[in-house]
Each structure stands twice: as structure tokens, then as C-alpha cells.
Amino acid sequence: MNIHVINGPNLNMLGIREPEIYGKETYRDLVYKISEHAKTHNLTVTFTQSNHEGVLIDAIQNCYYEKVDALIINPAAYTHYSIAIRDALKILDIPIIEVHLSDIMNREPYRKNNMISDCVTFTISGKGTEGYIEAMDYLITVTNKVET
């Protein structure tokens, strides 16, 4: 299985940015953790991180052109207001797992507004970087079910 992992604005600042909320692991640590988990499960994983909405949309559209099997996405703040990212996700007919490091439902009220949750297969929120690993495990389980 070939998975693309997209991370939105400010997630390149993990470890530096509000560590009491987002943890001490850096973006590099996150990529390493996901890549190691992918290796042990024979998955191919590619990454996009951008602070720009259009770049994230291009990355979502590329999942269609590159025939990616599944998408894991943390659109960060765009989650709460980007109709354009929502529209791009609607193009894809593959499992999409939405991940948030923090528990967005139990923070500021404006974070409860979620433009994408009804366009994704599954949402994992508030589990830190483990959320990405859980997303991969979920995809492995779903794929195995389909294949058997």
C-alpha cells in the first residue's frame, strides 16, 4: 500500500511551537516515526508539508494522478475554514484519515468548526504523533479486510 501524508501550516515547527499542546517531537521526528512504522509493515509512504493552501491542494490532487492508495492528512488551521481543501478531498475516492495532534473538540470554540470531517473516512484527534501511527494501523486493517 502506498500512503501519502500531508501536514499543513506550522506543523514544520513541531517541537518548537507550543510544545505543551503539540509535544516535543519535531517534524523530522514525526517523519522518521511514520517511515519506520511503514518499513515494518511494508508500506510505501511519501510526505508533503506546506504552509500554503495551494501547495496542499496540489498535493491532494496528486494523490489522484499518482494513484495513491490512501491519504493521511492534518490540514492544521485550514481544517477549520478551508472550503478549497474540502473540495479537493472530495475529488479522491480512497480512504482519507484526518489526524490532529491535539484534541480539537476540547480547545477554543473556533476549533470545533471542521470543514473536512464529513469528507474523511475516519478522524483521530488528541493522540499526539501516535495518531499518525494509529491511522496507518487502521489503513492496514481495512486493506487486509478488503483483500481477504
Per the annotation, the verdict on 27 as an active-site residue is no
- Does the annotation flag 62 for ligand binding? no
Give the residue nearest to ligand DQA (CB).
Answer: 76
Q: Binding residues for ligand DQA, per CB under 6 A? A: 10, 74, 76-77, 79, 100-102, 104, 111
The beta-carbon contacts of 120-127 under 8 Å, at least 24 apart in sequence, are: 120/73, 120/89, 120/96, 121/95, 121/96, 121/97, 122/95, 122/97, 122/98, 123/97, 123/98, 123/99, 124/97, 124/98, 124/99, 124/100, 125/98, 125/99, 125/100, 126/100, 126/101, 126/102, 127/101
Q: Whole-number minimum distance, CB 10 to ligand DQA, in Å?
A: 5
Q: Is 139 annotated as a binding residue?
A: no
| Catalytic pick among 4, 27, 78, 100 | 100
**Residue 16 vs 77, nearer CB to ligand DQA:** 77
Nearer to ligand DQA, 117 or 143 (CB): 117
Q: 71 has which bridge partners?
A: 4, 96
35 is in an annotated binding site: no
In the residue annotation, 78 being an active-site residue is answered as: no
Is 102 known to sit in a ligand binding site?
yes
The beta strands (E) that lie in 101-148 are given as: 122-125
Q: Which residues fall in the annotated binding site for substrate?
A: 74, 80, 87, 101-102, 111
Q: Which residues are catalytic?
A: 22, 100
